[in-house]
Structure formats: structure tokens, C-alpha cells
């Protein structure tokens, strides 16, 4: 921790601004690939250092609220760091660093063009995610949430084919529709009834609104957070899979979707408050919608032959774990939900990296084509196995701990049905995540394909082994996210 | 010279300048004088606003004390609108020079003279405290506007101007009939005086008819659905500069006068009781929001698209009015201001595209994002504002409008407001997608970025959209003061 204290503290505004500045620099260097790639590196490294620079002051309790702008009296754009936000910041900054070489390698070897726009938008998305992580009130969160939606649109539509455009249109339409039609009115409603939009540990709504009104707010907020992919507003995530794989990996397995569940957690803990959540009229309704999403998405994932589509539906399902964790209104479940953000982030990005590496090395996109591939791509498929185990929640991978706490939380809250749903869902996880690995290692290569090792370029393989290693490390160092989550309740 | 004596010059300077400009030769000189006149007018309006927010200012013309003579009576509400109109005119003029040189290649003196007449008319309507004077200025500005629309290079501009003339004249006639009825019943034309005398005769059929006539007449000017039919063609075929100017000012002034009659002359406890005005306005507003946005989503001609969007935006303002609360009126005044900024920026961007490509069909915009990045980015950013994305002026409007709807527990209105915002996303997004996400077809000409003389004013407007989305002290302060005036003492209040 002493080393962390040596890092400069550039303030929360600095942390949020950094990726945006990086994006400008990258866009200006668009015509010079070498410089552009260097700037991608610089931005992601600087961002990680800036985030780490926040840790020491945070632990010392020196991290304070920063008001950037006052829009109306009491209505501000303001930043404040709290434990949950720090988890999200650490997650996205560390994975951005690992995704940078992968993205550079993937885009170069995949023959993509227009990379200046691509990497600039990539950086903006990370900046927006950082803004969400440190926002101190609902309005600030909303601003960065929308920046995140809009900045990822060009990434999804990157190839410009009519298929990509259709997918991107569905993507942006659903995200904007839910946020503007549900989230925004809910936020203004909170403002109208409490006169405040600030995040306060323990919530701001208790005693200010009736339980019925709060119930409607909850429904609006939860469905309005389209990025958390609650059914029936989950279609955007499979639609986003037309994007190049680095986008699917970092954004649609980590930054964007984790922003969604982060918003859900933040709302549950800092706007509604766990105690109030228990009293709210139909919080069980949201809980069961999330449980339904969790199971249904798993069932759909089982029937997807396209590897990326399968992973996408798996993400939809895993996001609902976190929503369920937030809605259970139990401290343990909320801790589990916060930890699952990290665990699933590391696991799923590994899986997506692998899917991209497979595509680069062999142009294969279907699960049924993976037969015997473990012999040609041992590193990739090995990492895939670790990622899958992490998402399922099997030791010695980090996913165990988050699911452990989620299940204990469900037990704690006395929700037997949810407990059963967790268990069934874990079985379903196994049923759709392990077959690709089993095919790759146990089945022979199809006739006509030569053996011998043919991995993707090392610049792509190294990051995916690192994220897989990270997933293993998280098994041993799960105390870190646990401790931070526990601090939320102090 | 104190502010009360200075105030009328806001109207007089453009009026007098128009006579001079009409005679000036060439192209540069008329523009320069026009700009100077508009700027002076804006400066005077800016000086008036703080003074008028404190006390109602009154200037008797020719020293004939009201109600005998004509009086200019300026309070927080009309000072705000006057500032808006004159400053939008100045900003539009910055953009005008290059664009008008293309569209009016002949001697420009008469063109700018007409523009100044229209401006003086609009400002006159805003500042006067005399009902008949309202009609006179309305006719001045309308006649000038018909001629300006007819300047359009497209031959359809003539038909559009003619249609506007017919509809506009009907509207003005209705207004005149209404004012005549009021004069018949009260024996006065001074609005404040009228307001005092009306209660005695409130239960007569003539007064009720007057209210109805005035609302319909001004509804036509305001382009409130279903009286909006003149607007899309007039906006679409007028010279771009005229569209830019009208979009930011004309309907705003009409709305202001309507509010003045409904709230100050008749007083809300009359106008909303004898007629089901709140319901009528609300239904028409919602219908306008929907129909306007719906039609805009399918327009191929982008100026028409923005024109239909204006019909929808007028709906938002009238919706705020129909709630008859301070919050609702504040939202209406806010959107009146903010929408002027938004639409002016959008029309400037589209006008710039038209200047470079000679077309504003959406198909001809394909792939233009790479060839005219600055123009299209300006359009997209102004588009964010009309959608109501946070940090833009449009967001502040939506925020207050939704807040006002929640205030009266009108949940269905909240739903409708956000739903029509989504429709705005669709029609803006079509353009963005065409410009950036589509390759430019080979048969379309390659164009260059527009000249700075068009770009800079456009970006200035875009910047203002963001400025007033972040710094809301002026707009929210002035709008709530205006709403207070309308609902409170109004014109009957004390004047120095």
C-alpha cells in the first residue's frame, strides 16, 4: 500500500477526464498508426495509474466530494468516490489495460479500417464508465450513462455493413428508449418528491415517499437501466455482438453491462436503501423478473450455436444474478452482487477474448465447429476453460466467492425460490459453457484439418492468459472486493 | 437617458433603419446597417430585462398618458421575449451574409429592409401595451414575412408564401374581430385598462366570443395543430436565412401574445373557466407533439422535417401553458427560449449543408459526415439538444416540463413527453446515420467543408445550446419571473 501512496492524486475530475483527453489525442493521431497505438497505451496506463492514485487517499479517508458544475440550485454535476465505485473503477481500468494490446492486435490482424474513430470511441466509453463509477448523484450518473450509450454506437456499427447498422440501431434504440422513457421520469420524480438526487448510504427515499410510489419508481428505474439487460429489454446485448470482438469483450462484457448493474446496485444501496427496499410495494416483482431473466437467458444460451451469441445470453443471465443480489435486500447478497461484478468481469472478458482469438486464428464462429480445436489452440482453449469455470463459480476461481455470497444472501433473506433459481442456473451455466471446451479437447479434429499448433497472434493470446490468471488470482484475493463491499455498509 | 426612455428604441431602431436600408445600394452596406440595427435593439433589450424584472416599465408615446395614448409596457415576461427576439435576429444575421449573397444575388437593400420590418413588427408586438397596436405590428411583421418567404429561389416558395398570406390574414382578421369586440364592450384599447374593466362585463357573449376569436387567431400564428398548415411549406421554401430567423422568433412571439391575452387581459380565472381552455390546449398540444414528431420522422426534405419538429415543439410549450401552474408556465417560457436556440442552430446547420450541396434531401446527405465534418457535427450536437440530452438547453426545458407534469400528478403526460422525445431521437438519428454510417454513393458530388462565415455562427449557436444547458441562471430566472408576472399581478400591477 505504500507504493500506492506514491502515485499522484489527480482528483476524481482528473480520473474521469483522462480517457476523454486520451480520446482526443487518439483521434488527432488517427492518420499515424504507430503514434495512435502508442497513445492507446499511454491512455490506458495513465488511467490505471490515476485510478490507483485514488486508492491511498480513499483509504485514508481523504477522498472528498468534488462539485464540477451547478446546473440548478441543489442540482449539480458532482463526483465522490465510495467503495462500490472504487471496485468498478479498478475493474474497468485494469481490464482496459489488458484489452488494449488485444484490441490493437485484433483490429490490425482482422484487417479493420477507420481505427482512429474506433480507439477514440473506445477511450470515451471508458471515460463515461469512470464517470458513472464516481458520480455523486443521479443526474451525473444519467449524463455519463447516456455518453456511454452514444459513444459505443459507432463501435457497434463499426464495419458499416447493413447487418452492423441494423444491430447498432437496435442497440442504441433500446438503450435510449429505456433510459429516456423510464429512467429520466423516475429521476425527475425522485427530485420532485425529495428535492435531492444525491447518493446517500442507506438511501434518500425512506420516509419521503409512500411505499407504492417507491415501488413504481423502482420498476421505472430497474427497467430504465437498460444496460442491466432485464427482460424484456435485453435484446440490445445480443444485437451488439455484430461489433468487433474487442468491443464485445471490454464493453459488452465489462464496461457497459457492468455500468448497468453498477447503477442498479447504487440505486438499491444509495437511493432506496436496503431497509426501505424490503418494505417497497412490489420489489418482489422486480426480483422475480430478474430471476426469470437469469433462467430464461441461460436456456436461450444453450441453444445458441454462435459462440458470441451464446456468451451474450450468458452475460444477460449473469447480469441478472447481480440484479437479484441487489433486490434481495440482504447485506450478504449485496456484497455478493458487488463481487460478482468483478468476478464475472474477469471471467467473461476471458471468454470473449478467446472467442475473438479463435476467429482470428481459424475464422470459426460456431460452437459446433470447435471440435478438436484444443489441440491447435491449447492456450486459448485452456483460458476458455478457466473463464468458463469462473463464470460458473467453481473453485479455484473467483466466481465461487461471489456466487457463494449470493446464495447465502438468498438463504438469509428467506427467498427459497430464488435459492432454487440460483442452483438451477448454475447447472445451466455448466450446460452451456462447458460443451465448447469439451468439444475442443475431447473430440478429434474434423477430417482434412491439419494438426499442429496454430494460435492467434501473441499480442492477443497474452492478454487472454493474463485475464484468465486474474480470474484465478481473484479466488485467493477475494478479500479485496469483499472488504470494499463491506465498507459500503459501515 | 434612463431605461424607460431608451426602451422604445428597441422597436424604433429597426423600424427607422428599414427605411434607410431599403435605399442602400449593393450588398455589403445593407447587411452592415441591418446588423447594426439588430445589435442595438438587442443591447437595449438586454438593458431592459433586469430593470423590467424589478418593476413594470411604462412608456407613454407622445406623452399622452395611458389609456388615452399608446403605451409601451414592459415587464419580466415581454422583456424576456424581446431579448430573445432581438438577440436571435442578431445571431441569425451573423450567419446571413454568405447565405443571402447566394440566394438573393440582386440588390439586397429591399430584402434586408423587409427583414428589419419583420423584426420591428415582432418586437412591437412584444413590447406594446395596446391591443390595437398588437394587431398593427402583427400585420407589419406578417406582411414583411410573406414577402421574405416569397424571396425563396424555389418556385414553390411563391405558393408557400401565398398560402401563408391567406392563413395569416385569416388569423390576423380573427384577432382584429376579437379586439374589436373587447373595444366594444370596454371602450378601451389599453390592455391594462381592459383588464380592469373586463370583470364588469365578463358574463356577456361578446367577451366570450372575443376570447375565442383571439385564441384562434393567435393559434394560427403560433402554428398550433391543426392551424399549422402554413408552416412546413413556408419554412421549407423560404430563403434559408429567413427560415433561421422565423424558426427562432415568429411562433415565440405569437405564443407570448396569446399568453398575454389569456392571463393578463382576461385573467386565468376567466379564460380557463368560461371556455374549457385548459383541456382544449392540452389536447391540441399533445396532438401537435405527436403528429409533428410523427410526420417529421418520415420527411425526406430536411427543412420540412425540422418544420414539423417545430410544430411538435410548439406543442411542448402550449402543454406547459395548459397546466395553468407557475411550474407549467415557467416550463413554457423556458422552452420558448431554449427552442429558439435549438431550432436556429439546426436550421443553420441544414442551411449550411444546402449552401454547399444545393440539396437537403436526406439521400443526398449520405456519407456527408466525412466531407463536411464540422457542419454535420454541429447538426448532431444541436440534435442532442432537441432530444433533451443532459447538459444541453433542451434538457432543462424537458426537466421543467416533466417536473410541472409530475407536480399536477399528470403521469400520462410524463409518458407522452418522453415518448415524443424518443421520436425526436428517431428523426435526428436518421440524419446522423445517413451522414456517418453510410458510404457516399459514387454518383453524389464530392463537396468541401462550408466557409467559416457559415460555420462560426452555427457553432456559436451550438455553443449557446450547451452554455444554457449548463448555466441556467439567466434562463430559469427570467422564465420563472415571467411566469410569476403572468399569473400574478400582471399588467394591472404598479408602474412607475
Pairing of strands A66-72, B57-60: unpaired
Residue B414 in contact with partner chain A when CB distance is under 8 A: yes
In a domain, A242, yes or no: no
Q: Please give the residue of chain A at the shortest CA–CA distance from B406.
A: A189
Q: Which residues of chain A make contact with B437, given a CB cutoff of 8 A?
A: 154, 157, 160, 165, 168
In a domain, A320, yes or no: yes
pLDDT digits (tens, 9 = 90+) for A165-187: 888 888 888 888 898 889 988 99
pLDDT above 90 covers what percent of chain B?
A: 52
Instruction: Specify the number of domains making up chain A.
Output: 1
pLDDT band at B438 (very low <50, low <70, confident <90, very high): confident
- Identify the domain containing residue A316 by its residue range: 281-490
Measured in angstroms, the CA of A131 and the nearest CA of chain B are apart by 14
Q: Which residues of chain A make contact with B472, given a CB cutoff of 8 A?
A: 71-72
In a domain, A2, yes or no: no
pLDDT band at B495 (very low <50, low <70, confident <90, very high): very low
Q: Indicate which of B418, B419, B440 best probes the interface with A, i.e. most A CBs within 10 Å of its own CB.
A: B418
pLDDT band at B492 (very low <50, low <70, confident <90, very high): very low
pLDDT at A237: 87
Check B476 against A172: CB less than 8 A apart. no
* CB neighbour list of residue B205: distance below 8 Å, 6 or more residues apart: none
Q: Which residues of chain B make contact with A183, given a CB cutoff of 8 A?
A: none
Q: Which residues of chain A make contact with B388, given a CB cutoff of 8 A?
A: 180
Comparison of pLDDT for B98 and A113, the residue scoring more = B98
CB nearest A181 (choices: B422, B429, B476): B422
pLDDT at B65: 83
CB nearest B390 (choices: A146, A168, A173): A146
- Average pLDDT of chain A to the nearest whole number: 86
pLDDT at B1: 63
Q: Which residues of chain A make contact with B476, given a CB cutoff of 8 A?
A: 72
pLDDT at B292: 93
Q: Which residues of chain B make contact with A184, given a CB cutoff of 8 A?
A: 398, 402, 418
Query: What ipTM was assigned to the predicted interfaces of this complex?
Result: 0.78
Measured in angstroms, the CA of B475 and the nearest CA of chain A are apart by 11
pLDDT digits (tens, 9 = 90+) for A182-218: 998 899 889 888 888 888 888 888 888 888 888 888 8
- Average pLDDT of chain B to the nearest whole number: 89
Q: Indicate which of A176, A190, A233, A242 best probes the interface with B, i.e. most B CBs within 10 Å of its own CB.
A: A176
Measured in angstroms, the CA of A75 and the nearest CA of chain B are apart by 11
Measured in angstroms, the CA of B389 and the nearest CA of chain A are apart by 8
pLDDT digits (tens, 9 = 90+) for B45-71: 999 988 888 888 888 888 888 778 888
Q: Please give the residue of chain A at the shortest CA–CA distance from B473.
A: A72
Is the pLDDT at B471 greater than 90, yes or no? no
Q: Which residues of chain B make contact with A168, given a CB cutoff of 8 A?
A: 437
Q: Which residues of chain B make contact with A188, given a CB cutoff of 8 A?
A: 399, 402-403, 406, 414
Is the pLDDT at A108 greater than 90, yes or no? no
In a domain, A465, yes or no: yes
pLDDT at A15: 87
Contacts A–B by Cβ distance under 8 A: 57
CA–CA separation, B158 and B164 (whole Å): 10
Measured in angstroms, the CA of A191 and the nearest CA of chain B are apart by 8
Q: Which residues of chain B make contact with A191, given a CB cutoff of 8 A?
A: 403
Measured in angstroms, the CA of A80 and the nearest CA of chain B are apart by 19
pLDDT digits (tens, 9 = 90+) for B282-315: 999 999 999 999 999 999 999 999 999 999 999 9
Q: Which residues of chain B make contact with A176, given a CB cutoff of 8 A?
A: 422, 425
Check B437 against A192: CB less than 8 A apart. no
Check A142 against B470: CB less than 8 A apart. no
Check B407 against A157: CB less than 8 A apart. no
Is the pLDDT at B335 greater than 90, yes or no? yes
pLDDT at B142: 93
Check A192 against B403: CB less than 8 A apart. yes
pLDDT digits (tens, 9 = 90+) for A18-53: 899 989 888 888 888 888 888 888 989 999 888 888
Residue B437 in contact with partner chain A when CB distance is under 8 A: yes
pLDDT at B491: 38
Check B388 against A191: CB less than 8 A apart. no
Is the pLDDT at A95 greater than 60, yes or no? yes
Check B433 against A169: CB less than 8 A apart. yes
Mean pLDDT in residue range B135-152: 92
SS (H, E, C) chain A: CHHHHHCCCCHHHHHHHHHHHHHHHHHHCCCCHHHHHHHHHHHHHHHHHHHHHHHHHHHCCCCCCEEEEEEECCEEEEECCCHHHHHHHHHHHHHHHHHHHHHHHHHHHCCCCCHHHHHHHHHHHHHHHHHHHHECEHHHHHHHHHHHHHHHHHHHCCCCCHHHHHHHHHHHHHHHHHHHHHHHHHHHHHHHHHCCCECCCCCCCCCCCCHHHHHHHHHHHHHHCHHHCCCCCCCHHHHHHHCCHHHHHHHHHHHHHHHHHHHHHHHHHHHHCHHHHHHCCCHHHHHHHHHHHHHHHHHHHHCCCEHHHHHHHHHHHHHHHHHHHHHCCCHHHHHHHHHHHHHHHHHHHHHHHHHHHHHHHHCCCEHHHCCCHHHHCHHHHHHHHHHHHHHHCCCCCCHHHHHHHHHHHHHHHCCHHHHHHHHHHHHHHHHHHHHHHHHHHHCCCCCCCCCCCCCCCHHHHHHHHHHHHHHHHHHHCCHHHHHHHHHHCC
pLDDT digits (tens, 9 = 90+) for A309-366: 888 899 999 999 999 888 888 888 888 888 898 888 888 999 988 888 888 888 888 8
Would you list which residues of chain A are within 8 Å, Cβ to Cβ, of chain B? 69, 71-72, 139, 142-143, 146, 154, 157, 160, 165, 168-169, 172-173, 176-177, 180-181, 184-185, 188-189, 191-192
In a domain, A402, yes or no: yes
Residue B406 in contact with partner chain A when CB distance is under 8 A: yes
CA–CA separation, A315 and B407 (whole Å): 39
pLDDT digits (tens, 9 = 90+) for A405-423: 888 888 888 888 888 888 8
Check B399 against A188: CB less than 8 A apart. yes
Check A184 against B402: CB less than 8 A apart. yes
Q: Indicate which of A27, A71, A137 best probes the interface with B, i.e. most B CBs within 10 Å of its own CB.
A: A71
Check B470 against A191: CB less than 8 A apart. no
pLDDT digits (tens, 9 = 90+) for B203-256: 889 999 999 999 999 999 888 888 888 888 899 999 999 999 998 898 899 999
In a domain, A138, yes or no: no
Q: Which residues of chain A make contact with B390, given a CB cutoff of 8 A?
A: 139, 142-143, 146
Q: Please give the residue of chain A at the shortest CA–CA distance from B434.
A: A165
Q: Which residues of chain B make contact with A180, given a CB cutoff of 8 A?
A: 387-388, 418, 421-422, 425
Residue B407 in contact with partner chain A when CB distance is under 8 A: yes
Measured in angstroms, the CA of A158 and the nearest CA of chain B are apart by 8
String of DSSP letters for B319-349: HHHHT-SHHHHHHHHHHHHHHHHHHHHHHHH
pLDDT at B494: 34
Residue B436 in contact with partner chain A when CB distance is under 8 A: yes
* CB neighbour list of residue B203: distance below 8 Å, 6 or more residues apart: none
Residue B389 in contact with partner chain A when CB distance is under 8 A: yes
In a domain, A263, yes or no: no
pLDDT band at A395 (very low <50, low <70, confident <90, very high): confident
In a domain, A474, yes or no: yes
Is the pLDDT at A450 greater than 80, yes or no? no
Pairing of strands B71-74, A75-79: unpaired
Q: Which residues of chain B make contact with A192, given a CB cutoff of 8 A?
A: 403, 406-407
Q: Please give the residue of chain A at the shortest CA–CA distance from B467.
A: A71
Q: Please give the residue of chain A at the shortest CA–CA distance from B401.
A: A188
Is the pLDDT at B496 greater than 50, yes or no? no
Task: Tell me which H or E stretch contains B431.
Answer: helix B411-436
Is the pLDDT at A63 greater than 80, yes or no? no
pLDDT band at B146 (very low <50, low <70, confident <90, very high): very high
pLDDT digits (tens, 9 = 90+) for A142-168: 989 988 988 888 888 888 788 888 888
Check B472 against A72: CB less than 8 A apart. yes
pLDDT above 90 covers what percent of chain A?
A: 6
Mean pLDDT in residue range B354-372: 86
Amino acid at each position: 500500500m505504500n507504493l500506492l501512496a506514491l502515485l499522484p492524486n489527480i482528483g476524481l475530475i482528473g480520473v474521469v477526464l483522462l480517457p476523454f483527453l486520451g480520446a482526443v489525442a487518439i483521434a488527432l493521431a488517427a492518420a499515424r498508426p504507430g503514434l495512435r497505438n502508442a497513445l492507446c497505451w499511454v491512455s490506458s496506463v495513465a488511467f490505471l495509474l490515476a485510478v490507483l492514485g485514488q486508492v491511498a487517499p480513499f483509504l485514508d479517508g481523504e477522498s472528498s466530494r468534488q462539485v464540477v458544475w451547478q446546473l440548478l440550485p441543489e442540482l449539480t454535476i458532482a463526483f465522490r468516490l465510495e467503495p462500490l465505485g472504487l471496485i468498478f473503477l479498478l475493474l474497468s481500468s485494469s481490464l482496459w489495460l489488458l484489452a488494449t494490446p488485444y484490441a490493437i492486435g485484433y483490429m490490425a490482424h482482422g484487417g479493420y479500417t477507420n481505427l482512429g474513430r474506433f480507439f477514440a470511441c473506445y477511450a470515451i466509453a471508458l471515460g463515461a464508465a469512470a464517470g458513472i463509477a464516481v458520480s455523486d448523484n443521479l443526474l451525473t450518473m444519467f449524463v455519463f450513462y447516456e455518453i456511454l450509450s452514444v459513444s459505443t454506437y459507432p463501435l457497434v456499427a463499426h464495419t458499416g455493413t447493413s447487418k452492423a447498422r441494423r444491430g447498432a440501431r437496435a442497440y442504441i434504440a433500446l438503450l435510449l428508449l429505456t433510459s429516456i422513457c423510464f429512467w429520466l421520469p423516475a429521476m425527475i420524480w425522485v427530485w420532485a418528491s425529495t428535492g435531492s438526487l444525491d447518493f446517500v448510504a442507506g438511501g434518500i427515499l425512506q420516509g419521503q415517499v409512500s411505499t407504492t410510489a417507491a415501488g413504481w419508481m423502482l420498476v421505472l428505474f430497474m427497467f430504465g437501466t437498460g444496460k442491466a439487460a432485464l427482460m424484456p429489454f435485453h435484446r440490445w446485448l445480443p444485437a451488439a455482438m455484430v461489433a468487433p470482438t474487442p468491443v464485445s469483450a471490454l464493453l459488452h462484457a465489462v464496461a457497459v453491462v457492468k455500468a448497468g448493474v453498477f447503477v442498479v446496485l447504487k440505486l438499491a444501496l444509495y437511493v432506496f436503501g436496503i431497509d426501505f427496499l424490503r418494505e417497497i410495494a412490489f420489489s418482489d416483482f422486480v426480483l422475480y423478473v430478474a430471476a426469470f431473466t437469469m433462467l430464461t437467458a441461460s436456456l436461450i444460451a444453450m441453444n445458441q450455436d454462435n459462440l458470441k451469441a451464446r456468451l451474450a445470453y450468458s452475460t444477460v443471465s449473469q447480469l441478472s444474478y447481480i440484479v437479484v443480489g441487489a433486490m434481495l435486500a440482504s447485506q450478504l447478497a449485496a456484497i455478493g452482487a458487488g463481487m460478482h461484478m468483478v468476478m464475472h468481469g474477469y471471467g467473461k472478458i476471458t471468454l470473449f477474448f478467446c472467442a475473438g482469438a479463435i476467429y482470428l486464428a481459424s475464422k470459426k464462429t460456431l460452437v459446433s465447429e470447435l471440435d478438436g480445436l484444443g489441440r491447435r489452440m491449447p492456450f486459448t482453449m485452456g483460458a476458455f476453460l478457466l473463464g468458463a469455470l469462473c463464470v460458473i463459480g467453481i473453485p479455484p476461481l473467483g466466481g465461487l466467492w461471489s456466487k457463494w455470497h449470493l446464495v447465502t444472501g438468498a438463504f438469509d433473506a428467506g427467498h427459497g425460490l430464488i435459492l432454487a433459481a440460483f442452483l438451477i442456473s448454475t447447472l445451466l451455466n455448466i450446460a452451456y459453457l462447458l460443451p465448447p471446451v469439451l468439444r475442443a479437447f475431447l473430440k478429434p479434429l474434423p477430417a482434412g484439418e491439419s494438426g499442429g499448433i496454430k494460435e492467434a497472434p501473441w499480442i492477443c493470446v497474452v492478454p487472454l492468459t493474463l485475464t484468465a490468471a486474474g480470474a484465478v488470482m481473484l479466488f485467493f484475493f477475494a478479500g479485496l472486493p469483499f472488504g470494499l463491499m463491506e465498507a459500503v455498509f459501515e | 437617458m434612463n431605461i424607460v426612455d431608451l426602451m422604445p428604441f428597441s422597436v424604433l431602431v429597426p423600424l427607422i433603419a428599414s427605411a434607410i436600408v431599403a435605399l442602400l445600394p449593393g450588398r455589403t452596406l445593407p447587411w452592415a446597417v441591418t446588423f447594426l440595427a439588430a445589435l442595438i435593439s438587442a443591447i437595449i433589450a438586454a438593458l431592459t430585462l433586469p430593470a423590467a424584472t424589478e418593476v413594470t416599465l411604462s412608456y407613454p408615446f407622445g406623452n399622452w398618458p395611458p389609456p388615452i395614448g399608446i403605451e409601451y409596457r414592459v415587464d419580466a415576461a415581454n422583456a424576456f421575449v424581446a431579448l430573445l427576439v432581438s438577440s436571435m435576429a442578431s445571431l441569425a444575421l451573423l450567419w446571413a451574409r454568405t447565405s443571402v449573397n447566394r440566394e438573393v444575388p440582386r440588390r439586397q437593400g429591399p430584402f434586408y429592409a423587409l427583414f428589419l420590418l419583420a423584426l420591428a413588427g415582432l418586437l412591437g408586438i412584444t413590447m406594446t401595451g395596446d391591443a390595437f397596436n398588437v394587431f398593427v405590428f402583427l400585420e407589419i411583421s406578417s406582411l414583411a414575412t410573406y414577402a421574405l418567404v416569397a424571396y425563396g429561389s424555389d418556385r414553390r416558395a411563391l405558393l408557400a408564401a401565398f398560402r401563408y398570406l391567406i392563413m395569416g390574414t385569416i388569423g390576423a382578421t380573427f384577432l382584429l374581430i376579437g379586439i374589436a369586440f373587447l373595444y366594444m364592450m370596454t371602450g378601451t384599447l389599453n390592455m391594462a385598462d381592459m383588464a380592469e374593466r373586463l370583470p364588469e362585463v365578463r358574463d356577456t357573449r361578446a367577451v366570450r366570443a372575443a376570447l375565442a376569436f383571439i385564441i384562434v387567431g393567435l393559434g394560427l400564428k403560433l402554428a398550433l395543430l391543426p392551424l399549422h398548415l402554413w408552416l412546413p411549406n413556408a419554412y421549407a421554401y423560404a430563403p434559408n436565412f429567413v427560415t433561421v430567423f422565423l424558426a427562432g422568433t415568429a411562433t415565440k412571439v405569437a405564443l407570448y401574445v396569446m399568453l398575454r391575452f389569456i392571463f393578463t387581459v382576461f385573467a386565468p380565472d376567466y379564460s380557463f373557466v368560461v371556455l374549457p381552455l385548459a383541456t382544449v390546449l392540452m389536447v391540441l398540444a399533445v396532438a401537435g407533439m405527436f403528429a409533428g414528431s410523427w410526420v417529421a420522422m418520415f420527411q425526406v426534405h430536411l427543412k420540412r422535417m425540422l418544420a414539423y419538429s417545430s410544430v411538435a415543439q410548439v406543442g411542448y410549450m402550449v402543454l406547459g401553458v395548459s397546466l395553468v401552474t407557475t411550474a407549467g408556465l415557467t416550463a413554457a417560457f423556458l422552452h420558448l427560449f431554449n427552442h429558439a436556440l435549438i431550432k436556429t442552430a439546426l436550421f443553420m446547420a441544414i442551411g449550411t449543408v444546402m449552401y454547399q450541396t444545393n440539396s437537403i434531401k436526406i439521400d443526398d446527405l449520405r456519407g456527408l459526415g466525412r466531407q463536411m465534418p464540422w457542419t454535420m457535427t454541429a447538426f448532431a450536437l444541436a440534435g442532442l439538444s432537441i432530444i433533451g440530452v443532459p447538459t444541453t438547453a433542451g434538457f432543462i426545458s424537458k426537466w421543467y416540463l416533466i417536473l410541472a407534469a409530475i407536480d399536477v400528478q399528470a403521469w400520462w403526460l410524463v409518458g407522452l413527453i418522453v415518448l415524443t422525445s424518443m421520436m425526436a431521437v428517431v428523426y435526428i438519428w436518421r440524419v446522423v446515420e445517413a451522414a456517418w454510417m453510410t458510404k457516399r454513393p459514387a454518383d453524389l458530388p464530392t463537396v468541401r467543408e462550408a466557409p467559416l462565415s457559415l460555420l462560426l455562427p452555427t457553432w456559436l449557436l451550438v455553443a449557446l445550446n450547451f452554455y444554457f444547458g449548463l448555466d441556467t441562471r439567466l434562463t430559469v430566472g427570467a422564465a420563472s419571473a415571467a411566469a410569476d408576472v403572468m399569473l400574478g399581478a400582471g399588467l394591472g400591477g404598479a408602474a412607475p
